[in-house]
Amino acid sequence: MKVSNPNLFYELVQGLFHLFLPRLCEGCRKPLLYQEAVLCMACNLELPRTDFQDVHGNEAAIRIAGRIPFEWSTAFAYFSPDGILQYLLHRLKYQGKKEIGLFLGRQFGYMLRSSDWIQNVDALVPVPLHPDKLALRGYNQASLIATGLSEIVGIPVREDLLRRCRKTESQTRKSREERVLNVQDAFQLCDPATPNPGHVILLDDVLTTGATLEAAALELLKIEGIRISILCLGLASQ
């Protein structure tokens, strides 16, 4: 059969597939429209976005101020127990829903792409997982978020700069002091002779006390001349 309009044929096939096997919104479980992904428009609008990406001294910046030198720091949305972002990240990390990481990264990218400072960033560096945890989970959620963000802002993802060299326990339910000790010396440069990569964004899924980001940033700062900004998808209450 000759198809005169491949795009129309594709949309027809997708429409039939959606009719019999509908994709459901991760928030309200209602069928998604053809153009929607992961969340319907209504649930997407309910994400508690911070909108302080262009504000110096915002809440994410204050949380790590004085601990490491950084250019910018911001967060996509507020992270609260039983909130929609907590639910999405749980599905991403523990239920294999990798498309959620890409989706949230793209949403973060839409928020950041008009910011002047993002135009001067050379690379996105997701906080790495220990190889054992990576093998068990099959993917690094921070890498998926970084990949989605990269698609929108056009900044390459670099996972060849930093590695996790020591297994750590979950930071959940640990005090600030316990979190710092838990991630101490947990990261290592992949190559101590790495040339200066310029201005990099260190990216993680959730910022609580900032202990993990601080430990990772301190290792990256061993690269002479490097400049670091900090991004996290969720900003949790301490």
Looking from the CA of 202 toward its CB, the CA atoms found within 13 Å total 30
Give the residue with greater pLDDT, 35 vs 226: 226
Cα separation, 90 vs 164, whole angstroms: 22
The closest of 233, 221, 165, 218 to 197, measured between CA atoms, is 221
For 46-87, how does the pLDDT look when each residue is reduced to its tens digit (9 = 90+)? 999 999 999 999 999 999 999 999 999 999 999 999 899 999
Domain ranges of the chain: 1-46, 48-236
The closest of 166, 191, 194, 161 to 181, measured between CA atoms, is 166
For 72-82, how does the pLDDT look when each residue is reduced to its tens digit (9 = 90+)? 999 999 999 98
Average pLDDT value for the chain: 90
User: Whole-prediction pTM value?
Assistant: 0.88
Kindly report the CATH class assigned to 48-236.
alpha beta
Tokens 């907590």 belong to residue: 86
Cα separation, 64 vs 211, whole angstroms: 9
pLDDT of residue 185: 83
In this predicted structure, the answer to whether residue 16 has a pLDDT above a threshold of 70 is: no
- Residue 190 phi, psi dihedral angles, 5° rounding: -65, -35
pLDDT of residue 1: 44
Query: Residue 88 in contact with residue 26, Cβ under 8 Å?
Result: yes
Residue 126 parent element (H or E): strand 123-126
pLDDT of residue 181: 67
For 124-165, how does the pLDDT look when each residue is reduced to its tens digit (9 = 90+)? 999 999 999 999 999 999 999 999 999 999 999 999 999 999
Amino acid type, 193: A
In this predicted structure, the answer to whether residue 101 has a pLDDT above a threshold of 80 is: yes
